[in-house]
Structure 1
């Protein structure tokens, strides 16, 4: 089992015919993802060859859903058009929309997130690498060949650190890895993923990666205290970040004592989450957690 994305997911790509859309559609197909169509109003009715596959292009998301039964859309759409594309996906009742685009205005994200939520569409992103259930499906830009299927769940603000932890724990493997994005407002949060992993019978432990800025990690700590029984290890990026300077992600900014890595680390450790000082140490902590769990099982 996996969360949000499985081998039965049927994926369309909004913006498939652009350079990034074509490149990553080919990679998703190579990873075994069932890509059933693309969306581009200017190329409706055409067929695009991607690798050895011919993929139909539809004029609207609604047309693509009606023709293919798609239940996931991956958005490679310029920032100025992202809000309209996400709203179109929600209007078509797509259950999961993965917004890869960076640089989306925060007020646009706030608007389409609320619109989608009211219509039952889960948004992942924006400014994210997407998600992968290794060996089953890949929706986004996460490299599929750096890990294997296993029983660890991973949720991360950082795409790069998603890849690093996947690689560091590649011999153990993952149920699903979700890159939620690092903007101030995102569609799917740490808490959403923690809840899903807690309820997934094929996830035994969780890696949670946060970073400076905002209070998402503190809120996740409060949720873990009340609702998560599975072991969680974590990493918080940004211990050496200077105050008042945005670091990489639009949401990664420290203002005064708010949103510091030290405060987030303290909050998570107070509810039993083991925090690594580096990504590699975080991976080692997960190994120890899993080894301890195996040793405690009855013979």
Structure 2
């Protein structure tokens, strides 16, 4: 049996394993079901790399050696085939638009619209995030802004700004929020604005909604997203297909380590909501939005 063939297969499997570990952040963003691919690569490597090394050191020519070689080659090919089949397609638009997403707390945008924002970013649109609070009451104020930047970077948003207004007291800073949102509208001239719904029982979310309504009183396209604290009155009319982006959304949410103990932060909860909204919108999985006005963003989604 050719020793070099066994060693070549072993090296290839090791290299692939290193790639899925070292390039995890990139692959998690671009590959559907990345954990399945990662598990397959690591497990097949743990089994077949030693087997092929031992076969290379054995001077015999046995059926077992041939089986190790064939299995190693098959695993290597399957790894790349699985990655290719799971790779997210990117359809870049001919006319990129600007989108402004406004949230109250560092994790709000990822939880409510992470799939949609990732899809928009992949399509070539500029997506700008504005976060009002550092989330000090609900977590560590030294960690949460950094997690907001990490989540935005993972989603490939154009930029993210965290203002650091006092958590749970945003209603008392309505004028500051209106001015900040107005400034973004003037500087960006966004084609579409995302914000919280008025049907939300969190006082900060409701305050941000109304601040956005005042700042965007002349804007032609505003959609309100669904946070975990929306009431039963939340009634979406616009549904965005995020079947390809549920994993990316879950990974962006996972960037908020400080909030990991919250029951709505896990991938199962996110997938459940996406499945429910998808059923409403006649899509596999979706995020739902209430439309304040939608006549100004034809061709964005």
- State the TM-score, normalized to the length of structure 2: 0.33
* Larger fraction in helix: 2
- State the TM-score, normalized to the length of structure 1: 0.33
* Larger fraction in strand: 1
